Structure 1
Amino acid sequence: MGLSRNVFGVLERTAQSHAGEQVAFVHEGEARSFREVRDRSLRLAEGLRSAGVAPGDRVAVFLTNGHPWTEVFFGLAALGAVCVPVNVLLQPQEIDHVCRDSGARCLIADARGADAVAALAGLPELVVTVGDMAVSHPGRTVAYETLLQTPLPGGDVVGPALDDLASLYYSSGTTGLPKAAAHTHDGILWNSYHQIHDLGLDATTRYLVVPSLSWAAGFHNLTLALVMLGGRSVIMSTGATSPENLVATIEREDITHTFFVPALLRRFLEEPALLERLRRTRLRWLVSGSEPVPRAVIERLAAELPACSIVQGYGLSEFPTMATMLRADEAITHAGSAGRPLSVTDLAVQRPDGTIARRGEGEILLRSLATMREYAGRPEETAAAFADGWLHTGDLGVVDDDGFLTITGRKKDMIISGGLNVYPKEIEEVLYRIPGIREAAVVGVPDDRWGETAVAVVVGDDLDPESIREHCAGQLASYKRPRAVLLHADPLPRNPTGKVLKRELRPWAADRIAAAR
């Protein structure tokens, strides 16, 4: 079969090569070769075409991690339909928004989402049910396995063009309704190609896929790059990512690389027996991101796992998913940094006066062949995001003279107190060094005198707010010190990708400060 270069073409080339019979994906002990995944994806594409799904149609995918997700991902790419991942942690009203906003004509879902799907205000005209999923639908419903019985297409499969739309990745919605980052096949391929060189991947790499495949990090951090190389990806089931399960899988599958969100890194630091087991594995590369990783966490893990590179990266759903990376040999001299730009990324900052510079402090700007094409259906937001020819990330950072980026927070999270900028991350770094604090977030609350003041919200055991304030007083300038330290009984609220929802903490903190008056 001849294929134009597109996302499905990556799988096709490997399936046709000497690596075709090698294992591509493993899930719960079941292995699939590249040729098996290729054939099942093509059958699915033909089945969807027969069911009325056409190139360019939006298809919402509401699946837990597993082999169907990989087949859907490549099947939609072969068909030329647009994949719209829906996070399985979303609530019905949030799923409704994604389906309506994207204009999805088809929804593919498994049993994990049955209750949420049943509660939707409206369903796309076609619903594909995976496994024992059942749904009452006035439109058309077809079983996934029925689609897979469709014969393979005869002759060549041309596939979509490089500049055709491939995916709509919805933002996490930390500041409002999620919007869709629209990605072409070309951008997705650039996002993966560079990882081979920049991360030193090869066919012997065994990657443990921990994030949901509905997140941008799921397919686009290493996974697709390894399909290009003939490497292996082992997929963790949704909801099965306890530290014990992760270590057991790393041991059993001989994992060399993986990705953990910061919250998971902190949990491992509370499990010395599991860290000891990790030291005896082949794990040699562990990257973290999605939010700034506390420096204390990286330092402690690096000491616990001396043979494993503990790497912090920076990326976004608008792509590249890995824009910068701090190598392990740079971790000591540039502790706390997110590293330097990778080969596909151009990095700058927009200073407060509006000027754009390679060095200095301000909003982080990116230019890349991997960057999204637009925010789908939002021309004004797209224009604002790409003002001056750069992608404005909404994140704040400092680029030093050597080109290392340090993330200081979100632009909308920055606190202005008495005319001075206060970056929550700087205070949070100090808090995370205090024994007993498991989670910490700093938010700004209204203040009659200063406009805003910083308030620390912490989670932990046997914590004394006054002692915490005294510790901060010894580490921070007076205008940066938290005016109050509030104990939060429950884990901090987070969005489906694990980022702290400061929009929920701000009113909570403000109410308690007002009540204390």
Structure 2
Amino acid sequence: MTRRLEVVRGAEIAVALRAALAGGPAVLPAAPGADPQGLPGTVEQRIALVVETSGSTGGPKRVALSADALLASAAASESALGGPGQWVLALPTHYIAGLNVLVRSFAAGVDPVELEGGPFTAARFVDAARRLGIPERLVALVPAQLATLLDDRNALTELRRFQAVLVGGQATPATLAAQAADAGVRLVRSYGSSETSGGCVYDGRPVGGATVRVEDGEVWLGGPSLAEGYLGDPGLTAERFVMHGGARWFRTADGGSLRDGMLTVTGRRDDVLISGGVKVALAEIERVLREQPGLQDAVVVAAPDPRWGETPVAFTAGYADTQAAIAAVGAELGAAARPARLVHLDALPELPSGKPDRRALAELARG
């Protein structure tokens, strides 16, 4: 059995997703201006949603999710956050975090309130918060949005009235979490990905039927919210979704540890960083930089950032027009990929093999 797969955008996404959850055509929400290529006309009947996300090489992955997985995620979130409420929709609905707000709203039977008028700002958040119709208020944010609201007096006043403020998309800086707590904001830190229907671990503990294990230092996630796999990529599906101990698991490629049931995520085990909720492949940044005159040796590492979670930092022993090089990265890969700094060294540190010592450069970037 199959069903049709449709690409939807903008205001069409909510209507099409609701229909997909009820058995209508499956949907792939696309970003404005995006034109997904190579899609099949139909997918297996159990697939309701396909989410396009970046891989470690920068190429797209298409995560296939069932209605059961999405609704299981919504039920787990509702229980963990203290019951149903009305959501402010502050995230794009072609990302899993924004789509989750829609699914949770459908499950609760309460329409979300969307920010109006353009990009996220404190003023637009305040306007949306004041249009909420019930006292049980919820919002999902990425850390950069939270930082913006904490720095605005009117936004902070509204934020304190929320039943929960769910923050995910990347590791939330400890200083930002402390600032929120000191300000009286009920912050809930979420961990998950498109492959788990979004966040399935809140404040280090799995919610609903989610399960967590750590194998050889890698975080594995299980439970009813797991994706079916990657559309059109059985090899990657078999690599990342595995059976172990009679259960199915998603191998996250994140490092972490588990102690007394509490998960601590230590960072990516591959070369992808997440800045402002957007995945950025370090290899792709290096590729663009190395195409610029004088930067053939450029190396890019991730550095912690108090606002964005992580940002790329580039190193070179060459000489180039720094601003032009950074602008070239932004033009090809997007704003999140722009290096925060392009550092010139007399010589790049090397391993005995002659390859760049990325660990040493990461230490320099953190300093």
> TM-score by structure 2 length?
0.72
Aligned to 1:513: 345
* Contact kept in structure 1, 2:210 and 2:222, CA below 8 Å: yes
- Which of 72, 81, 91 is residue 211 of structure 1 equivalent to? 91
Deviations 1:203-248 (A, max 9, x none): xx12111111221112324x32332332342122473421111012
Aligned to 2:6: 59
* Contact kept in structure 1, 2:229 and 2:237, CA below 8 Å: yes
Deviations 1:52-110 (A, max 9, x none): xx96222111x22x4x332222234446322011122x6xxxx34x232x2358xxxxx
Is 1:300 matched with 2:176?
Answer: no
- Which of 74, 77, 99 is residue 37 of structure 2 equivalent to? 99
Gaps of 5+ in 2: 274-300, 318-324, 350-367
Gaps of 5+ in 1: 1-53, 106-159, 327-338, 352-361, 416-423, 448-487
In structure 2, distance between residues paired with 1:190 and 1:495: 37
Aligned to 1:349: 214
Q: 1:81 to 1:513 in 2, by over 3 A?
A: farther
Higher strand share: 2
Deviations 1:231-270 (A, max 9, x none): 3421224734211110122123256110111111122233
- Residue 516 of structure 1 deviates from its aligned partner by 8.9
Deviations 1:317-361 (A, max 9, x none): 1113121002xxxxxxxxxxxx2111221101121xxxxxxxxxx
Q: Amino acid of the residue matched to residue 343 of structure 1?
A: G
Q: 1:297 to 1:74 in 2, by over 3 A?
A: same
Q: 1:87 to 1:442 in 2, by over 3 A?
A: closer
- Which of 150, 165, 177 is residue 47 of structure 2 equivalent to? 165
- Which of 224, 235, 238 is residue 369 of structure 1 equivalent to? 224
Q: Amino acid of the residue matched to residue 106 of structure 2?
A: V
Deviations 1:289-341 (A, max 9, x none): 0010100001012212x1x3111110101113121002xxxxxxxxxxxx211
Is 1:266 matched with 2:125?
Answer: no
In structure 2, distance between residues paired with 1:496 and 1:237: 26
* Contact kept in structure 2, 1:55 and 1:79, CA below 8 Å: no
What secondary structure does 1:87 align onto? coil
Alignment of 1:123-142 (within 5 A): none
Q: 1:495 to 1:82 in 2, by over 3 A?
A: farther
- Which of 392, 399, 408 is residue 266 of structure 2 equivalent to? 408
- Which of 114, 123, 140 is residue 244 of structure 1 equivalent to? 123
In structure 1, distance between residues paired with 2:78 and 2:309: 34
* Contact kept in structure 1, 2:143 and 2:308, CA below 8 Å: no
The percent identity for this pair of structures is 21
- Work out which structure has the larger RCO, using CA pairs closer than 8 Å and 6 or more positions apart in sequence: 2
What secondary structure does 1:253 align onto? coil
Aligned to 1:192: 74
- Residue 443 of structure 1 deviates from its aligned partner by 5.5
- Residue 278 of structure 1 deviates from its aligned partner by 2.3
* Contact kept in structure 1, 2:4 and 2:26, CA below 8 Å: yes
In structure 2, distance between residues paired with 1:315 and 1:266: 21
What secondary structure does 1:57 align onto? strand
State how many pairs are aligned: 309
- Residue 399 of structure 1 deviates from its aligned partner by 1.9
